[in-house]
Amino acid sequence: MLLETNKYNPCLCNVMEDTITISVGEKKTLRPSLMKWIGLVYCGMPNENTFSLSYMETTGYQGYALNLFYPKSMSKIKIKNVEFNVVSVTPEKITLQQIKNPLGKNSF
C-alpha cells in the first residue's frame, strides 16, 4: 500500500491500493461477500479512442450491470463514487489502480 500526500493539505491524502489488471472478458471481484457480489469486466475497445468496462452488482439471485464507455485519454475514472487511476489500456487488457480515501467514504 502506497501513500500519496496532498501538498496543500497533508491531512487530505489518498491511500493507493495495489494495481489490478483485467483481460477482455475477465471478471474481477471488487467486493466479495456471502450474499452480495460487486465486480468489473473489461469489455475491450470498440475503437482506438474508447474503452469499455462493465460494472456488475448482484444480491442473491438479482443483479444488474452497467456498460460504461470512457475515452482512452482518461487518466482517472469514477465508478460508483470510487476513483481509479488508469495505468494502461490496450485492446487486450486494462490496468487500474484504486484511489481509496482514508476516511472510507468511497467504497463499494
- For residue 82, what are the CA distances in angstroms to 47, 49, 61, 62, 91? 25, 23, 25, 23, 23
Kindly tell me if the per-residue pLDDT of 16 is higher than 60.
no
Adjacent-strand bridge partners of 94: 22, 89
**DSSP codes, 1-61:** -EEE--SS-TTS-EEEEEEEEEEBT-EEEEEE-SSEEEEEEEEEEEETTEEEEEEEEEETT
What secondary structure, in 3-state letters, does 17-33 show?
EEEEEEEECCEEEEEEC
Parse the chain into domains and list their residue ranges: 2-100
When mean pLDDT is compared across 23-27, 33-37, 48-52, 97-101, the lowest value belongs to: 97-101
Give residue 65's pLDDT. 95
Q: 54-102, pLDDT tens digit by residue?
A: 999 999 889 999 999 999 999 999 988 889 999 999 999 999 998 876 6
Architecture of the CATH domain 2-100: Sandwich (2.60)
CA 21-27-30 angle, to 5 degrees, is: 75
Are the C-beta atoms of 72 and 89 separated by less than 8 Å? Answer: yes
